[in-house]
Structure 1
């Protein structure tokens, strides 16, 4: 009888140990799911009226471009990619209007997202672009501005505040209107 009791006790101990292990594994899985679902540090998405975050990038000519250096002027801040069809379509309009508004206190600053210098220079040369073009190689500026689609353009007034955020392709008339809206007085 003692062997049967010992065997029963051993089986009960194994069962209890399995239950404990399964419970621990289940708790770990539930904890991992909860950790994943709970929002981390809530980062604020930029909105019209916010100050545009300052940044420093180097343009294709090797010059440092800081948004804060443009204070007192309107800034047409355009994020784009060489592979992006809407970006390709609006670039000639941006170039044309850059030339028209440069002497009126509106500057174009262009930020390519994480592409090679060669691709961006080839694109610039193909489209004859003359405004400053930078490359956000580590996506730090993209992260600061928290946008998703390309192209995205921030219309920034002379005081550094965001007047408009456009997350789509623009027509020449729309670009002209936005540039007119941020001309310093």
Structure 2
């Protein structure tokens, strides 16, 4: 083996050692972050059917405040969504059609967008011609209070202000109609 081959071999060994050390450092940092995150995580109460729905106030696209407690006595179809979420976009027109039917029967829809810009949300609402209130959870505080994970998630709030049902994933128009019927005041 000549000198040049030895240098090439040594160079490759050094590169491998640097790469292994880097990967090891990243793994240690990731494990450390996970442990730190778990140790300092706030206790999030997981909501369940029958619990009082946490109150909140969010602002709609027209600048009007919507406070959940203001809807007491009515059913509230609380839908958490994002403009990028394909199932969300797919169910919005059906929600709007059913809102047109059930809004006169005491069922309200609040579509809670998760922290997107006013422009993105307004463009989406205009595209689908939504007639129900669309609010933006800019700080994700409502999302956190309701422990929302996948989008879309819909929380049915009965006229007494309690959680009637929690639905994760896309709903059909038949589903939406049935759920609105379920929270309609007597």
Determine if the TM-score, normalized by the shorter chain, exceeds 0.5.
yes
Matched, 1:124 2:125: yes
Q: TM-score, normalised by structure 1?
A: 0.80
Aligned length: 155
- For residue 62 of structure 2, give the secondary structure of its aligned residue in structure 1: coil
| Cα separation, 1, equivalents of 2:139 and 2:107 | 27
| Cα separation, 2, equivalents of 1:36 and 1:131 | 38
What's the CA shift for 1:36? 5.1
Indicate the residue corresponding to 2:155 in structure 1: 154
Gaps of 5+ in 2: 1-31
Indicate the residue corresponding to 2:53 in structure 1: 52
What's the CA shift for 1:42? 2.5
- For residue 179 of structure 1, give the secondary structure of its aligned residue in structure 2: helix
Indicate the residue corresponding to 1:91 in structure 2: 92
Q: Which whole-Å deviations, capped at 9, do the CAs of 1:134-180 have from their partners, x for residues lacking one? A: 00011011111111000000011000100100010000000000000
Q: TM-score, normalised by structure 2?
A: 0.79
| Cα separation, 2, equivalents of 1:122 and 1:130 | 14
Indicate the residue corresponding to 1:26 in structure 2: none
| Cα separation, 2, equivalents of 1:51 and 1:170 | 24
| Cα separation, 2, equivalents of 1:34 and 1:100 | 50
| Cα separation, 2, equivalents of 1:63 and 1:163 | 26
Q: 1:34 to 1:139 in 2, by over 3 A?
A: closer
| Cα separation, 2, equivalents of 1:180 and 1:70 | 16
Gaps of 5+ in 1: 1-30
What's the CA shift for 1:33? 8.2
| Cα separation, 2, equivalents of 1:90 and 1:107 | 16
| Cα separation, 1, equivalents of 2:87 and 2:170 | 5
Q: 1:41 to 1:99 in 2, by over 3 A?
A: same
| Cα separation, 1, equivalents of 2:35 and 2:123 | 47
| Cα separation, 2, equivalents of 1:34 and 1:60 | 40
Q: 1:80 to 1:41 in 2, by over 3 A?
A: closer
- For residue 164 of structure 1, give the secondary structure of its aligned residue in structure 2: strand
Correspondences of 1:1-185 after superposition (within 5 Å): 37-38=38-39, 40-185=41-186
Q: 1:135 to 1:40 in 2, by over 3 A?
A: closer
Indicate the residue corresponding to 2:28 in structure 1: none
| Root mean square deviation, CA, Å | 1.7
